[in-house]
């Protein structure tokens, strides 16, 4: 079955594992794609544990390395398991993902801002002691 995009000479963006929807890809190929995703996820997880527990890495760079590996892990899951791509059929998925990321960033940013300014916004302790009397 060909889509309207293939008639125009364009091949749509297809996620690994979604080739079967486009008329190609056997069960063995799909299992291979999922196995590659699983292997990458295990490798990224093992690397994260190694970096967190070793003295071979410069200590101040460990949080940055863990953040990079976490983002890579999310990318592997989105592409290999959830089949999120930038193709025309996945526009709603990409928009929902972008909205979710925006909400998470806003909540995290707001929480960090509140925690950073918490001491400035607290009532001085001498005023609190006077109120308790």
* 3-class SS letters over 36-53: HHHHHHHHHHHHHHHHHH
Distance of CA 127 to the CA centre of its chain: 45
Same domain, 100 and 57: no
Do residues 63 and 19 share a domain? Answer: yes
Total domain count for the chain?
2
Asked if 41 and 6 touch (Cβ cutoff 8 Å), the reply is no
42 and 71 part of one domain? yes
122 DSSP assignment: S
Q: What is the pLDDT of residues 59-68, one digit of tens each?
A: 999 999 999 9
Domain final position from 85, 106, 125? 85
Same domain, 118 and 98: yes
pTM of whole model > 0.85? no
Chain segment 12-27, per-residue pLDDT in tens:
666 665 655 555 568 8
Domain hosting 105: range is 88-133
The reply to whether 76 and 126 lie within a common domain is no
């Amino acid at each position: 079955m060909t889509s309207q995009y293939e008639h125009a000479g364009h091949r749509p963006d297809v996620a690994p594992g979604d080739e079967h929807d486009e008329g190609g890809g056997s069960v063995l190929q799909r299992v291979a794609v999922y196995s590659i995703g699983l292997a990458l996820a295990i490798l990224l997880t093992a690397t994260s544990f190694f970096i967190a527990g070793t003295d071979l890495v410069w200590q101040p760079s460990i949080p940055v390395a863990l953040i990079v590996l976490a983002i890579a892990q999310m990318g592997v899951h989105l592409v290999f398991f959830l089949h999120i791509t930038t193709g025309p059929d996945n526009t709603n998925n990409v928009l929902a993902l972008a909205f979710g990321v925006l909400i998470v960033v806003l909540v995290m940013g707001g929480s960090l801002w509140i925690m950073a300014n918490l001491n400035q916004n607290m009532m001085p302790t001498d005023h609190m002691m006077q109120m308790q009397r």
